[in-house]
Structure 1
Amino acid sequence: MKSIIKPVLVSILLFFTSVSFATEKLTLIKNANIFDGESKKLQMGMDVLVENNLIKKIGADLVAENAQVIDAQGKFLMPGLIDAHWHTTYAYTPASVLMMNTGDMSEVAIRSMKGAHETLMRGFTTVRDPGGNPFSIKKLIDSGEYPGHRILPSGPFMSQTSGHADFHNVFTENPRNTNSELSYWEKNMMAMIADGVPEVRKRTREILKYGASQIKITTGGGVSSQYDPLDVSEYSVDEIKAVVEEAKNFNTYVISHVMTDAGIRTSVEAGVMSIEHGFFASDSTLKLMKKKGAWLSPQAMFEEDMNWSSPVSARKYKQVTDAVNTLYKRARDIGVNVAFGTDQLLDASKAKQQSTLLVRMGTWFSNYEVLKMVTSDNARLLELSGPRHPYQEGPLGKIVEGAYADLLIIDGNPMEKLDVLGDPENKFKVIMKDGVIYKNTL
């Protein structure tokens, strides 16, 4: 009997071993000049072996049987780009659909899927989504059913009544009582209104239940919202601390939309770790952020970018753009953690400015600093999500062994000329995400 069982077991083992080897997908990139996401010094003429979705080996003269070989021809190889403030469901949907209570969420989803693909083709392989309902889109992308970028979702962003997420009509839906219906945005998991410590705790728990990687609140006024001026502060210290505590219970962190110095300081003192926008931060508040290890995520917006039809929003936008230049300079000098994010909203034709804003960062930072910011620095910010980070197999934003194979081969050296990043259609020759090649024009 033993003489029969042994060969059978060996045959089974060999079968499954052969299946395992057969399912390995190998891609070998030859002769690339590598920016690894961290070092100023390029690794010249090197090879990168990708096994399935991870970087297996980096070295010279690598050989791999049965691998798809890509000759980089001495071109620039870098990690995929990361946008730390990209609304998957807002960027490609016009205000006439998204901001009204009559919009069709099916249309929002279709536009968003198309936008996720286009964003990937600009070389952005990962985004942190700071508000909206991209959960089903993320699911389809992660399963490989549809091409698009990775998403670290915040889920519906949360504000107080009359805050940045309150889109109730001031004439027909105000005042609200505790038994009133949820707004259109709330029903569709795009935003949430919560007032008082018990309610913000409950809403935070609900958002985490959706699968949020981090929690987004608003502690100050915004450009797109109609009822909260830029100078206001929103949420009490106790309310903010309650949200932070609930996020910590889930081993993740809180980000906040806020522009005023007072709102930023209150948020950081309460434990918020990422300030979105933060345009009016004082030097003393920036120093506090540095001390706490908090991140600043502004946007490189200039006045000529303005596309707001609302006079109220247009006036607010002008105030913001006036503050951008000095903010970046001061943040860099003080040494705050600065993230790259774009926050393109409500206009598919403007979404491609994502690449323009990246190049514009060269106004305040060296080419190397910009490249590091949009790769390994942003990846370090995303790691604050801890176990709620949905991509745990390896690091993002780096070209090291064991990292995710999110890679770009670029015709030109952005370390020398940053503007090559502004022309992804022509300059990005290979776009790989998770080991899958989405573009190869070499």
Structure 2
Amino acid sequence: MAHRTRPVHYFDHEADFGLSGLAGSICSRSTLRVDGPIVLALAEQAAAEDEDEQLGRDVRMLLDSPLPDAAIHSVWLAVVRRGFDPAEDGTGMRSWLHRLSDVCPVRSPESDPFGNDDPDEARPLVTEDELRSTVTAEIDLTAPDLERSVAVPGIAAALRRLVHEVDADLGFRMLLRVAKAYSVRIGADQYDRFLAIGDRLAYPGTAVYEGLSVKWPSIDPGRRDFAYGRFGLPMLAAVIHGAGTGVSHEGTVREAVEGVAHADAGLVPGSQAAVLLEDVQRLTHSVLSDEAVTALWRVAAGRWHTTEEFDADGRAWFTQIAEVCGQRLKDVDPVYVPFVSPARVEAAEAVLREVRELAPDLTNRMQTAGSAMVRSAVTALDELVARVDPDLGFRLLLQILGTCDVQITGARRARCKVIAERLGYSDDHIDDWLPTEPS
């Protein structure tokens, strides 16, 4: 079967969208129940002001489908947590859908500012048959919990029919919305599969994880497979530096630390705080001198020429970071006891090679202000890798290369990707922020 042309949803939306997004808006209302005019007003706002063209498409797919009104009614009641039932107003489901369709008119291509601009290379490539099979398997796995928790009899069967008789993409979003509406607990493995399906369909991440109740595993400070590149101390350094991260350093320094410590949306709550705390503890209690610790941090954060004093003493600064991380961990898991995972010494030789071969490039790059601190940081990197932890040393090396704008060869980039894979990083850890020489 040929692939359907599917929209790149994250290009148009920052959160849930379409009919599932409307259902989420209804569930979020402070009152227990809403009426028809309020729902229509919410739909009209989403379609017009929020430019959610998918809402109209979802409604018209249901109208044009062979799915019985009873099944549509069951799914609707479940996704809105019985917050609005058209039947109580004497309105049948298809009549109600026609009313929704009227406030979500088809937008002509000329007036659509986004539809023709979706990047073709990012379009999802998944057949309806494959998606139908994948989503049905997740419904089957979740069915016992759905039937036990959702106040709509036969909801699993109705969702299956939606997937097979209407659209598997819509069926997946409605499965997520039902689980969110009734706080159905999702296992960590299934949660990872949900994220993978959402990625394949080009959803914004929040459309999957926001509001989902997950049976999280224990916090692991040794986790390295963060899907969006940097983490821990190099991530904080990147935020403070503010270049090439998409995140500018605004507000107070403490707010910057809190931002990184809380940046675990979609992850085990506390994950980012745990790895950041591990990094600062590892450096604080290492054999490195105070001057070496301070130089490493200040060069990684691009602060070798600043007059600000908040991090003039690296170890004292790390103590402040640790306090923020400790509070975050206490909030999300009061019984969690922070610990430092074993150092990844198996990569030491490969990382040391990169540090030593790049040392001249780094020191020669910074011939003016801050050159002495950069030289100290390079020496400290060598000692960190050899005597403390190659993993942290490698991540700080990558950050310092970016901060100092040192370009690397394609061959070195390939070696760095091999090291990153060996250390368990996600595929995109070595990404565009690491400058590469033109070929």
TM-score (norm 2): 0.28
Task: Judging by fraction of residues, say which structure has more helix.
Answer: 2
Higher strand share: 1
| More RCO (CA 8 Å, sep 6+) | 1
